[in-house]
Amino acid sequence: MTSLVVGPRAQVGRRLLRSSPLTVTVSFVFVGLLIFLALFGPLLAPHGSESLNLATGLTTPNGEFWFGTDDLGRDVFSRTIYGVRYALFGPVLIVVGAFVIGNVLGLAAGYRGGLLDASIMRWVDLMYAVPGLLVTIVLIGVLGASYLLAVVVLVVLTSPFDTRIIRGVTLEQRSLPYVEAARTLGLPVRAILFRHIFPNILPISFANAFLNFAFSLVALSALSFLGLGIGPGTADWGRMLSESRLLLFDNPVAALAPGGMIVLTATSMNLIGDWLYDRLADRGRAR
Protein backbone atom coordinates (compact mmCIF):
# COMPACT_ATOMS: atom_id res chain seq x y z
CA MET A 1 0.00 0.00 0.00
CA THR A 2 1.44 3.38 -0.93
CA SER A 3 1.45 6.24 1.54
CA LEU A 4 1.06 9.93 0.80
CA VAL A 5 3.10 12.61 2.51
CA VAL A 6 0.63 15.33 3.44
CA GLY A 7 1.93 18.85 4.01
CA PRO A 8 0.90 21.11 6.91
CA ARG A 9 -1.62 23.04 4.81
CA ALA A 10 -3.26 19.83 3.57
CA GLN A 11 -3.44 18.50 7.14
CA VAL A 12 -5.05 21.71 8.35
CA GLY A 13 -7.53 21.59 5.47
CA ARG A 14 -8.43 18.00 6.30
CA ARG A 15 -9.00 18.84 9.98
CA LEU A 16 -11.19 21.79 9.02
CA LEU A 17 -13.18 19.57 6.66
CA ARG A 18 -13.70 16.94 9.36
CA SER A 19 -14.66 19.46 12.04
CA SER A 20 -16.93 21.60 9.87
CA PRO A 21 -20.50 21.41 11.26
CA LEU A 22 -21.89 21.78 7.75
CA THR A 23 -19.81 18.87 6.43
CA VAL A 24 -20.83 16.61 9.30
CA THR A 25 -24.48 17.63 9.00
CA VAL A 26 -24.52 16.93 5.26
CA SER A 27 -22.90 13.54 5.89
CA PHE A 28 -25.51 12.61 8.50
CA VAL A 29 -28.36 13.76 6.24
CA PHE A 30 -26.95 11.80 3.31
CA VAL A 31 -26.54 8.60 5.35
CA GLY A 32 -30.02 9.08 6.80
CA LEU A 33 -31.38 9.40 3.27
CA LEU A 34 -29.61 6.18 2.30
CA ILE A 35 -31.17 4.33 5.24
CA PHE A 36 -34.59 5.68 4.28
CA LEU A 37 -34.12 4.57 0.68
CA ALA A 38 -32.93 1.15 1.81
CA LEU A 39 -36.17 0.72 3.75
CA PHE A 40 -38.68 2.38 1.41
CA GLY A 41 -36.81 2.87 -1.88
CA PRO A 42 -38.67 0.18 -3.85
CA LEU A 43 -41.94 1.94 -2.99
CA LEU A 44 -40.61 5.29 -4.22
CA ALA A 45 -38.75 4.19 -7.35
CA PRO A 46 -40.70 5.15 -10.49
CA HIS A 47 -39.77 1.91 -12.26
CA GLY A 48 -38.75 -1.61 -11.31
CA SER A 49 -35.08 -2.45 -11.03
CA GLU A 50 -35.31 -5.13 -13.74
CA SER A 51 -38.01 -3.59 -15.93
CA LEU A 52 -36.80 -3.83 -19.52
CA ASN A 53 -37.98 -1.46 -22.23
CA LEU A 54 -36.26 -2.49 -25.42
CA ALA A 55 -38.45 -0.12 -27.41
CA THR A 56 -37.02 2.84 -25.45
CA GLY A 57 -33.47 1.54 -25.51
CA LEU A 58 -30.61 3.78 -24.50
CA THR A 59 -31.62 7.36 -23.68
CA THR A 60 -30.04 10.36 -21.98
CA PRO A 61 -31.65 12.01 -18.89
CA ASN A 62 -35.12 13.38 -19.58
CA GLY A 63 -38.39 14.14 -17.84
CA GLU A 64 -39.47 10.49 -17.55
CA PHE A 65 -36.07 8.95 -16.87
CA TRP A 66 -34.12 11.38 -14.65
CA PHE A 67 -30.80 9.56 -15.10
CA GLY A 68 -31.66 8.19 -18.53
CA THR A 69 -31.70 4.48 -19.37
CA ASP A 70 -29.08 1.85 -20.14
CA ASP A 71 -28.79 -0.16 -23.35
CA LEU A 72 -31.63 -2.46 -22.21
CA GLY A 73 -34.00 0.41 -21.50
CA ARG A 74 -33.78 0.06 -17.71
CA ASP A 75 -34.26 3.23 -15.65
CA VAL A 76 -30.88 4.15 -14.13
CA PHE A 77 -32.44 6.34 -11.42
CA SER A 78 -34.66 3.52 -10.17
CA ARG A 79 -31.81 1.01 -10.25
CA THR A 80 -29.61 3.41 -8.28
CA ILE A 81 -32.29 3.58 -5.59
CA TYR A 82 -32.63 -0.21 -5.50
CA GLY A 83 -28.86 -0.50 -5.20
CA VAL A 84 -28.86 1.25 -1.81
CA ARG A 85 -29.94 -1.98 -0.10
CA TYR A 86 -26.94 -3.92 -1.34
CA ALA A 87 -24.65 -0.95 -0.62
CA LEU A 88 -25.67 -0.96 3.06
CA PHE A 89 -26.53 -4.58 3.79
CA GLY A 90 -23.21 -6.25 2.91
CA PRO A 91 -20.89 -3.65 4.49
CA VAL A 92 -22.97 -3.59 7.68
CA LEU A 93 -22.61 -7.37 8.02
CA ILE A 94 -18.86 -7.09 7.49
CA VAL A 95 -18.54 -4.25 10.01
CA VAL A 96 -20.54 -6.06 12.68
CA GLY A 97 -18.67 -9.33 12.17
CA ALA A 98 -15.23 -7.67 12.20
CA PHE A 99 -16.24 -5.51 15.18
CA VAL A 100 -17.24 -8.49 17.32
CA ILE A 101 -14.28 -10.71 16.35
CA GLY A 102 -11.71 -7.91 16.48
CA ASN A 103 -12.82 -6.52 19.83
CA VAL A 104 -13.06 -9.89 21.56
CA LEU A 105 -9.68 -11.12 20.30
CA GLY A 106 -8.00 -7.75 20.75
CA LEU A 107 -9.19 -7.39 24.34
CA ALA A 108 -8.15 -10.95 25.19
CA ALA A 109 -4.72 -10.62 23.57
CA GLY A 110 -3.98 -7.21 25.06
CA TYR A 111 -5.10 -8.03 28.59
CA ARG A 112 -4.00 -11.65 28.97
CA GLY A 113 -0.71 -11.55 27.06
CA GLY A 114 1.49 -14.63 27.06
CA LEU A 115 0.75 -17.59 24.82
CA LEU A 116 -2.77 -16.39 23.99
CA ASP A 117 -1.44 -13.03 22.82
CA ALA A 118 1.33 -14.67 20.78
CA SER A 119 -1.09 -17.09 19.10
CA ILE A 120 -3.60 -14.39 18.18
CA MET A 121 -0.96 -12.01 16.87
CA ARG A 122 0.67 -14.68 14.70
CA TRP A 123 -2.71 -15.17 13.05
CA VAL A 124 -3.00 -11.40 12.64
CA ASP A 125 0.49 -11.22 11.12
CA LEU A 126 -0.43 -13.96 8.68
CA MET A 127 -3.56 -12.08 7.59
CA TYR A 128 -1.55 -8.88 7.21
CA ALA A 129 0.83 -10.68 4.87
CA VAL A 130 -2.03 -11.96 2.70
CA PRO A 131 -3.21 -9.71 -0.18
CA GLY A 132 -6.82 -9.56 0.97
CA LEU A 133 -8.66 -8.55 -2.18
CA LEU A 134 -6.62 -10.92 -4.33
CA VAL A 135 -7.36 -13.83 -1.98
CA THR A 136 -11.04 -12.93 -2.05
CA ILE A 137 -11.03 -12.94 -5.86
CA VAL A 138 -9.31 -16.33 -5.96
CA LEU A 139 -11.65 -17.94 -3.40
CA ILE A 140 -14.78 -16.64 -5.06
CA GLY A 141 -13.45 -17.63 -8.47
CA VAL A 142 -12.86 -21.19 -7.22
CA LEU A 143 -15.96 -21.62 -5.06
CA GLY A 144 -18.31 -19.70 -7.34
CA ALA A 145 -19.53 -16.11 -7.43
CA SER A 146 -21.65 -15.41 -4.36
CA TYR A 147 -22.47 -12.20 -2.52
CA LEU A 148 -22.75 -13.99 0.82
CA LEU A 149 -19.42 -15.76 0.29
CA ALA A 150 -17.78 -12.40 -0.47
CA VAL A 151 -19.18 -10.99 2.78
CA VAL A 152 -17.90 -13.94 4.84
CA VAL A 153 -14.43 -13.80 3.30
CA LEU A 154 -14.19 -10.04 3.89
CA VAL A 155 -15.22 -10.48 7.54
CA VAL A 156 -12.36 -12.95 8.03
CA LEU A 157 -9.88 -10.67 6.26
CA THR A 158 -11.01 -7.47 8.00
CA SER A 159 -11.15 -8.67 11.62
CA PRO A 160 -7.33 -9.00 12.02
CA PHE A 161 -6.93 -5.26 11.45
CA ASP A 162 -9.49 -4.58 14.20
CA THR A 163 -7.74 -7.10 16.45
CA ARG A 164 -4.37 -5.36 16.19
CA ILE A 165 -5.84 -1.91 16.84
CA ILE A 166 -7.88 -3.05 19.87
CA ARG A 167 -4.95 -5.02 21.28
CA GLY A 168 -2.77 -1.90 21.13
CA VAL A 169 -5.20 0.31 23.04
CA THR A 170 -5.91 -2.49 25.52
CA LEU A 171 -2.20 -2.72 26.30
CA GLU A 172 -2.29 0.99 27.13
CA GLN A 173 -5.34 0.60 29.37
CA ARG A 174 -4.39 -2.46 31.39
CA SER A 175 -1.60 -0.68 33.28
CA LEU A 176 -3.76 2.31 34.27
CA PRO A 177 -4.84 2.81 37.91
CA TYR A 178 -8.54 2.02 37.35
CA VAL A 179 -7.66 -1.44 35.99
CA GLU A 180 -5.29 -2.06 38.92
CA ALA A 181 -8.07 -1.03 41.29
CA ALA A 182 -10.50 -3.43 39.63
CA ARG A 183 -8.01 -6.27 40.02
CA THR A 184 -7.47 -5.37 43.68
CA LEU A 185 -11.20 -5.54 44.29
CA GLY A 186 -11.20 -9.05 42.85
CA LEU A 187 -13.47 -8.35 39.87
CA PRO A 188 -13.60 -11.17 37.31
CA VAL A 189 -11.65 -10.75 34.09
CA ARG A 190 -14.84 -10.56 32.03
CA ALA A 191 -16.10 -7.62 34.08
CA ILE A 192 -12.76 -5.80 33.84
CA LEU A 193 -12.64 -6.25 30.07
CA PHE A 194 -16.21 -5.45 29.08
CA ARG A 195 -17.39 -3.14 31.88
CA HIS A 196 -14.26 -1.08 32.41
CA ILE A 197 -11.73 -1.33 29.57
CA PHE A 198 -14.12 -1.70 26.64
CA PRO A 199 -16.05 1.57 27.26
CA ASN A 200 -12.75 3.46 27.25
CA ILE A 201 -11.71 2.11 23.84
CA LEU A 202 -15.11 2.58 22.20
CA PRO A 203 -14.08 5.83 20.42
CA ILE A 204 -11.39 3.99 18.47
CA SER A 205 -13.69 0.99 17.89
CA PHE A 206 -16.45 3.17 16.48
CA ALA A 207 -14.14 5.24 14.28
CA ASN A 208 -12.54 2.07 12.94
CA ALA A 209 -15.97 0.54 12.29
CA PHE A 210 -16.91 3.43 10.01
CA LEU A 211 -13.60 3.12 8.17
CA ASN A 212 -14.31 -0.60 7.77
CA PHE A 213 -17.69 0.24 6.27
CA ALA A 214 -16.07 2.45 3.63
CA PHE A 215 -13.48 -0.23 2.83
CA SER A 216 -16.14 -2.97 2.67
CA LEU A 217 -18.36 -0.93 0.36
CA VAL A 218 -15.49 -0.31 -2.06
CA ALA A 219 -14.33 -3.96 -1.87
CA LEU A 220 -17.80 -5.39 -2.52
CA SER A 221 -18.35 -2.93 -5.34
CA ALA A 222 -15.01 -3.93 -6.87
CA LEU A 223 -15.96 -7.61 -6.71
CA SER A 224 -19.32 -6.89 -8.32
CA PHE A 225 -17.56 -4.82 -10.98
CA LEU A 226 -15.42 -7.88 -11.76
CA GLY A 227 -18.48 -10.12 -11.88
CA LEU A 228 -17.59 -12.00 -8.67
CA GLY A 229 -20.26 -10.67 -6.33
CA ILE A 230 -23.84 -9.84 -7.26
CA GLY A 231 -25.29 -11.77 -10.19
CA PRO A 232 -25.83 -10.24 -13.64
CA GLY A 233 -28.72 -7.80 -13.96
CA THR A 234 -28.95 -7.07 -10.23
CA ALA A 235 -29.22 -3.41 -9.24
CA ASP A 236 -25.90 -3.20 -7.41
CA TRP A 237 -23.77 -0.08 -7.77
CA GLY A 238 -20.60 -1.99 -8.60
CA ARG A 239 -22.42 -4.16 -11.11
CA MET A 240 -24.14 -1.14 -12.64
CA LEU A 241 -20.79 0.59 -13.01
CA SER A 242 -19.40 -2.45 -14.82
CA GLU A 243 -22.38 -2.78 -17.14
CA SER A 244 -22.46 0.96 -17.95
CA ARG A 245 -18.75 1.61 -18.46
CA LEU A 246 -19.20 1.28 -22.22
CA LEU A 247 -21.99 3.89 -22.21
CA LEU A 248 -19.86 6.85 -21.11
CA PHE A 249 -20.16 8.57 -24.48
CA ASP A 250 -23.88 7.79 -24.92
CA ASN A 251 -25.24 8.28 -21.40
CA PRO A 252 -22.47 9.21 -18.95
CA VAL A 253 -24.94 9.42 -16.04
CA ALA A 254 -25.52 5.65 -16.26
CA ALA A 255 -21.94 5.12 -15.05
CA LEU A 256 -21.43 8.31 -13.04
CA ALA A 257 -24.53 7.81 -10.85
CA PRO A 258 -23.51 4.49 -9.23
CA GLY A 259 -19.84 5.52 -9.12
CA GLY A 260 -20.70 8.83 -7.49
CA MET A 261 -22.91 7.11 -4.92
CA ILE A 262 -20.05 4.80 -3.94
CA VAL A 263 -17.70 7.75 -3.44
CA LEU A 264 -20.23 9.87 -1.54
CA THR A 265 -21.26 7.01 0.75
CA ALA A 266 -17.68 6.05 1.61
CA THR A 267 -16.71 9.69 2.21
CA SER A 268 -19.74 10.36 4.41
CA MET A 269 -19.03 7.30 6.54
CA ASN A 270 -15.42 8.39 7.01
CA LEU A 271 -16.43 11.90 8.08
CA ILE A 272 -19.04 10.60 10.52
CA GLY A 273 -16.51 8.18 11.99
CA ASP A 274 -14.00 11.01 12.54
CA TRP A 275 -16.68 13.19 14.13
CA LEU A 276 -17.82 10.43 16.48
CA TYR A 277 -14.23 9.72 17.51
CA ASP A 278 -13.62 13.39 18.37
CA ARG A 279 -16.85 13.68 20.36
CA LEU A 280 -16.44 10.43 22.29
CA ALA A 281 -12.74 11.05 22.97
CA ASP A 282 -13.47 14.56 24.29
CA ARG A 283 -16.21 13.21 26.53
CA GLY A 284 -13.86 10.55 27.86
CA ARG A 285 -11.14 13.12 28.65
CA ALA A 286 -13.63 15.39 30.39
CA ARG A 287 -14.93 12.50 32.49
117-129: pLDDT as tens digits: 899 999 888 888 8
Q: Does residue 27 form part of some domain? A: no
Q: Does residue 50 form part of some domain? A: yes
How many of the other CB atoms lie within 10 Å of CB of 244?
24
The tens digit of pLDDT for each residue in 255-275 reads 888 899 999 999 999 888 888
pLDDT at residue 145 is higher than 80 = no
Q: Does residue 201 form part of some domain? A: yes
Q: Does residue 137 form part of some domain? A: yes
pLDDT at residue 284 is higher than 70 = no
Name the residue range of residue 205's domain: 39-286
Lowest-pLDDT range of 15-29, 102-116, 237-251, 272-286: 272-286
Handedness of CA 267, 268, 270, 275 (dihedral sign): positive
Please give the average per-residue pLDDT across 251-257, as a whole number: 86
Euclidean distance between the first and final Cα of the chain, in Å? 38
Residues 6 or more apart in contact with residue 211 via CB below 8 angstroms: 269, 270, 273
pLDDT at 2: 37
pLDDT at residue 5 is higher than 60 = no
| 21, 114, 248, 281 from 14: Cα distances, Å | 13, 40, 32, 19
pLDDT at 7: 46
- In whole angstroms, give the CA distance from residue 249 to residue 53: 21
Tell me the pTM.
0.83
Q: Which residue has the higher pLDDT, 257 or 281?
A: 257
Tell me which amino acid residue 255 is.
A
Burial (CB count within 10 angstroms: exposed 0-12, middle 13-18, buried 19+), residue 122:
exposed
Please give the average per-residue pLDDT across 14-39, as a whole number: 81
Please give the average per-residue pLDDT across 64-84, as a whole number: 84
CB-CB contact of 129 with 135 (8 Å):
no
Q: Does residue 17 form part of some domain? A: no
Q: Does residue 19 form part of some domain? A: no
Q: Does residue 20 form part of some domain? A: no
Q: Does residue 231 form part of some domain? A: yes
The mean predicted confidence, pLDDT, of the chain is: 82
Looking at the structure of the chain, the number of domains it has is: 1
pLDDT at 28: 92
What's 58's domain CATH number? 1.10.3720.10
